């Protein structure tokens, strides 16, 4: 997957701005200079600068040129998690229910939402793909599809893995009802009641709820806000665990991304003991860098990684289209799918298959990534400007989740105060069974940036400051 | 739900023909006589006679009148099941896989299919409902829906239960991915690994597979081909069981229907011990009689019946639209749904809701019931004519499944022979974990009757006869 020339040039400058090599207020190299040095057309340089401007990294001053307008927030990153071992707090479930219930009320600013706003989705094109699906399918989609799933979709998903040298074929993939369906079948294929699984911490609460409901023991491991789970911590619990589940790329809620060497190391140590790894790679395609990060599946020589994905965070949550490449657990996953749901919805799978086949998906992803990246910078700046002194934030390198650590503020209390002002956030306690992250929250930046969004963040910061005093 | 006048008159005569009161060759009462005796218009009588003619029960002889052309097949009904207690035969799973795999080959006559042929489905109207759904829904169905499910659909399903005085509201109902999704959540809400459930015998293999996969013990109980499970047999195992699951209306594979008094008795005996009843009522709307049979849910005063249904057997299997009224287990079922799939497909639920709301469903069901009823008679006649002497068949009073018991023929062998001639059947062994029903099979009559279908049944009978000699 080659990115366009101008985009790569823009990324080079962005790196320099983000690392502080190019400082706020400094003049950018002239268009002509870049044109000469990079051997590209003036127009390409101009496009690159437009992109940087759109992200709020540089500004144009008439008759003078472009200037760096952005400096990294001075905020520190949140602490590395150090899960403590307490009795699970029962009220976590009720907190989650409360946050969920608030999402559908009218006029709410949904910083707690786990999906991108539908303003960012290519709805007209999806509708076209749906009409094509109704025309193409026998019986217009009223028939059951193959239990393993729509063949076109499986093959299109396999082709997408070429971006990270995935070497998967349509035969390796089973379609599911979203990534949650994939995780459910994965769990039920590799562990049973009483078994123990290792997870990141903080961790997406859906994973915790699923594990609890299946009667599993959960070990939450220290996780770095930039590089993800600590491999040494995982190594220490290997003798105790029956499976591991990771959201390695742009983890929800941290936005962290595991370095390649960590991925290789972790797959290796798990394989040595024959421990399966369930990999939730739902955010992997939403990278802000120059290429898609590899999943752990890339390092999987023993077929022990169950790689899960979907279009729920990128295209159409309500379509319920996801997939899993279950490695050696393929027969079991297909059996789970058969007995729990027979098959997945015929029409939405065919529509997504058509959308993927025609290259519309890659086109859409490019736009979506740019917008989300710009949003992440807008959010960082606003939080720096409006939130209490001492606030720490993560540095998402993809996806649309940001982890915010506040000084001396109980975010459950903040939730209660904010929801009265029609702002919904996801309090940190939702992301652990150990009653921790009391002063943290997850903010979603998957909505179009606007003055109104900025105003809402400002108000949220004000509420937090009031709670402190 | 009032049936039309002519239909009720037709049913009266049909009863007389089926019971032998009106015998084959006998002249039917004249139109004028019926007009006088029933106090209805001549036109209504004529419509009733047309219906009887369409079902192959009477024929018109020019200038003479109508004559009874049908006599009940002389075949006996199959034996009441007497499950024996043997080690489960492992090869049942592989037999099921083989039968499934054969279904998608080209040119197969699918007497083993578990859904109605799409020739019998209102596809153009469904497509229209789908377009309306895309227009009505926020984000054209890309958004997650409410976890409990589409409100319009839940309310429409609740209104349908008025037909049997159901008194359910939309709040009592949770939507699911087909009935199988409903059964899966039901099981996971009321039993856990090691528990014991009682089922009919023979029983739909999907229920057996689900129970096994969840680590449940299964007790298969004697079941009558006309009246369903034996209440006394159930009473004897009450101390051993943690739940009961029944397909009381037009059971798959028998086509049996439990009498109201059995339903009342069974709900009562289970309630006394606080044992939940999972009721799979997927065929209930496909009755051949004058009104919809009540489900066990009707007798449920303690909220212990989890009533499951869908449109998979009547409208659109591939839409994956089902529902459950889980009684006191509602919170648990919603939680199961949340953690295993988040939500069901937004678009197909809205499309079905629209279809149900506008009364199109009842109109379609009326046609479908008439066609399936006629099919059941065509199949009975053809089996009587072409199958080996000593063959027994059930008398489906609804649905589209028929249970056939052959003398001295191993139906697994018959399957192997028949599939070479492009005919697929469902061997009896699929419907038990006890390696029984070796000489039985399920035939589906959910396809349009034609000379070709008759030819295929004739060929199947010939293959069976050859196997006997």
pLDDT at B2: 41
Class of residue B261 by CB neighbours under 10 A (exposed 0-12, middle 13-18, buried 19+): exposed
Check if the interface score ipTM surpasses 0.90: no
Q: Is B87's pLDDT higher than 70?
A: no
Strands of A166-251 (E only): list them. Answer: 174-176, 196-200, 217-221, 223-224, 228-229, 243-246
Inspect the interface and report whether the beta carbons of A339 and B177 lie closer than 8 Å. Answer: no
Q: Which residues pair with A199 in a beta bridge?
A: A220, A245
Evaluate if residue B321 carries a pLDDT over 80.
yes
Partners of B336 on chain A (C-beta within 8 Å) are 213
Among the partner-chain residues B145, B177, B316, the one whose CB lies closest to the CB of A142 is B316
Residue of A130, A177, A343 with shortest CB distance to B134: A130
Q: Do B142 and A130 touch (CB under 8 A)?
A: no
- What are A255-285's pLDDT values in tens digits? 999 999 999 999 999 999 999 999 999 999 9
**Quick one: which of A437, A429, A362, A398 has its CA closest to A160?**
A362
- pLDDT band of B84, cuts 50, 70, 90: low
Closest CA to B167 of B297, B257, B322, B264: B297
**Position of tokens 């009224």?**
B325
Joined together, the tokens standing for residue A340 give 């729990």
Instruction: Please check whether residue B340 is in contact with residue B183, taking contact to mean a CB–CB distance below 8 angstroms.
Output: no
Nearest CB to A213; choose among B177, B315, B339: B339
As a whole number, mean pLDDT of residues A356-361 equals: 88
Q: Which residues of A touch B121 (CB under 8 A)?
A: 139, 142
A347: closest CA of chain B, how far (Å): 7
Separate counts of helices (H) and strands (E) for chain B? 15, 16
Residue B89 has pLDDT above 70, yes or no: no
Mean pLDDT for chain A overall: 91
Confidence of residue B90 (pLDDT cuts 50, 70, 90): very low
For residues A133 and B348, give the distance between their C-alpha atoms in angstroms, rounded to a whole number: 13
Count Cβ atoms within 10 A of the Cβ of residue B249 and give its class: 0-12 exposed, 13-18 middle, 19 or more buried. buried
| Distance, CA of B402 to chain centre | 10
- B446: number of CA atoms within 13 Å, CB side? 24
Please judge whether A318 and B127 are an interchain contact, meaning their C-beta atoms are less than 8 angstroms apart: no
The per-residue pLDDT of chain B, averaged, comes to 91
Kind and range of the H or E run holding B11: helix B5-19
Half-sphere exposure of B312 (CA within 13 A, CB side): 30
Whether the pLDDT of residue B169 is over 80: the answer is: yes
Q: Looking at CA atoms only, how far is residue B314 from chain A in angstroms?
A: 10
Q: Which of B429, B451, B281, B325 is nearest to B382 (CA)?
A: B451
Nearest to B145 among A206, A318, A341 (CB): A318
Chain B residues in contact with A210 (beta carbon < 8 A): 339-340
> Closest Cα partner for A441 from A454, A424, A427?
A427
Distances (CA, A) of B85 to B143, B193, B201, B203, B435: 50, 21, 12, 15, 9
Tokens of A181: 């369906």
Residue B195 pLDDT greater than 90, yes or no: yes
Q: Average pLDDT in the A356-362 region?
A: 89
Please state at what angle helix B451-468 crosses helix B411-420, rounded to 10 degrees: 130
pTM: predicted TM-score of the whole model, two decimal places: 0.85
Q: Find residue A404's DSSP bridge partners.
A: A393, A441
Interval B347-362 mean pLDDT: 93
- B338 and A209: CB-CB below 8 Å? yes
Higher pLDDT, A20 or A115: A115
Nearest to A342 among B126, B178, B338 (CB): B178
Mean pLDDT value of segment A394-414: 93
Query: In this complex, do B345 and A184 lie within 8 Å of one another by their Cβ atoms?
Result: no
Q: In whole angstroms, how far apart are CA B46 and each of A404, B43, B58, B363?
A: 77, 5, 12, 21
CA dist., res. B331 & res. B457, Å (int): 48
- Say if residue B1's pLDDT is above 50: no
* Mean pLDDT within A181-186: 98
Residues 6+ apart with CB under 8 A from A379: A402, A443, A445, A457
Q: Do B335 and A213 touch (CB under 8 A)?
A: yes
Which residue of A118, A146, A338 is in closest CB contact with B139?
A118
Of B141, B180, B318, the CB nearest to A143: B318
Q: Which pLDDT score is estimated for B73? A: 62
| Partners of residue B100 in chain A, C-beta under 8 Å | 147
Interchain CB contact of B193 with A (< 8 Å): yes
Q: In the structure, what pLDDT confidence band is assigned to residue A2 with cuts at 50, 70 and 90?
A: very low
Q: Which domains does chain B have, with CATH numbers?
A: 5-68 (1.10.10.10), 91-120+365-468 (3.90.1150.10), 123-361 (3.40.640.10)
User: What's the confidence (pLDDT) of residue A90?
Assistant: 45
In the structure, what pLDDT confidence band is assigned to residue A88 with cuts at 50, 70 and 90? very low
For A290-308, how does the pLDDT look when each residue is reduced to its tens digit (9 = 90+)?
899 999 999 999 999 999 9
CB contact under 8 A, B118 and A139: yes
Hey, is A269 helix, strand or coil? helix
Q: Determine contact, residues A270/A244, Cβ cutoff 8 Å.
A: yes
3 state SS of B296 = helix
- The Cα-based distances of B294 to B106, B156, B201, B258, B263 in angstroms read 39, 18, 21, 9, 9
Inter-chain residue contact B318 with A139, CB threshold 8 Å: yes
Of B252, B195, B184, the closest CA to residue B223 belongs to B252
User: What's the whole-number mean pLDDT along residues A84-91?
Assistant: 52
Which residue of B lies nearest to A148 if distances are taken between CA atoms? B101
What is the average pLDDT across A218-228? 93
Count CA within 13 A, CB hemisphere, residue A309: 24
Contact A142 B340 (CB under 8 A): no
Neighbours of B133 (CB within 10 A): 24
Q: Is-contact B248 B299, C-beta < 8 A?
A: no
Contacts of A193 in chain B (CB under 8 A): 192-193
CB contact (8 A) between residue A184 and residue B339: yes
Tokens of A118: 């539908």
- pLDDT, tens only, B34-72: 888 788 888 888 888 888 887 788 888 877 889 888 766
CB–CB of B320/A345 below 8 Å? yes
* B208: closest chain A residue by CA: A339
CB pair distance less than 8 Å for A142 and B319: yes
Cis peptide before B253 (omega within 30 of 0): yes
């Amino acid at each position: 997957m080659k990115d366009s020339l101008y985009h790569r040039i823009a990324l080079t400058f962005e790196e320099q701005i983000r690392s502080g090599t190019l400082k706020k207020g400094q003049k950018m190299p002239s268009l002509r200079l870049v044109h000469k040095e990079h051997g590209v057309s003036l127009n390409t340089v101009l496009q690159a600068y437009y992109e940087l401007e759109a992200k709020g990294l540089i500004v144009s001053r008439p008759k003078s040129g472009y200037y760096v307008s952005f400096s990294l927030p001075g905020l520190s990153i949140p602490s590395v998690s150090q899960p403590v071992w307490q009795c699970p707090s029962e009220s976590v479930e009720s907190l989650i229910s409360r946050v969920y219930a608030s999402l559908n009320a009218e006029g709410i600013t949904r910083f707690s939402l786990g999906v991108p706003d539908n303003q960012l989705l290519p709805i007209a094109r999806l509708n076209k793909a749906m009409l094509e699906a109704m025309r193409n399918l026998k019986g217009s989609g009223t028939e059951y599809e193959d239990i393993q799933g729509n063949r076109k979709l499986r093959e299109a998903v396999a082709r997408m893995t070429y971006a990270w040298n995935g070497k998967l074929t349509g035969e390796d993939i089973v379609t599911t009802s979203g990534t949650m369906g994939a995780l459910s079948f994965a769990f039920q294929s590799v562990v049973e009641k009483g078994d123990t699984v290792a997870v990141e911490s903080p961790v997406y609460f859906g994973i915790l709820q699923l594990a609890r409901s299946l009667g599993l023991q959960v070990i939450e491991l220290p996780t770095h806000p930039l590089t993800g789970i600590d491999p040494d911590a995982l190594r220490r619990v290997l003798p105790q665990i029956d499976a591991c589940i990771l959201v390695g790329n742009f983890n929800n809620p941290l936005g962290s991304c595991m370095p390649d060497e960590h991925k290789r190391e972790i797959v290796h140590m798990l394989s040595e003991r024959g421990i399966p790894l369930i990999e939730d790679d739902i955010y992997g395609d939403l990278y802000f860098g120059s290429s898609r990060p590899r999943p752990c599946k890339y390092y999987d020589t023993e077929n022990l990684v169950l790689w899960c994905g979907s279009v729920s965070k990128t295209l159409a949550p309500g379509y319920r289209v996801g997939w899993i490449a279950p490695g050696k657990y393929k027969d079991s996953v297909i059996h789970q799918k058969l007995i729990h749901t027979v098959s997945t919805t015929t029409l939405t799978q065919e529509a997504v298959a058509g959308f993927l086949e025609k290259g519309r998906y890659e086109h859409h992803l490019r736009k979506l990534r740019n917008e989300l990246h710009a949003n992440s910078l807008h959010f960082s700046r606003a939080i720096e400007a409006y939130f209490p002194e001492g606030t720490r934030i993560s540095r998402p390198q993809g996806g649309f989740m940001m982890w915010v650590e506040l000084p001396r503020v109980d975010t459950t209390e903040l939730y209660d105060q904010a929801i009265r002002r029609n702002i919904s956030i996801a309090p940190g306690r939702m992301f652990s069974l150990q009653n921790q992250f009391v002063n943290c929250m997850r903010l979603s930046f998957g909505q179009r940036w606007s003055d109104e969004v900025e105003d809402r963040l400002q108000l949220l910061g004000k509420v937090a400051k009031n709670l402190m005093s």
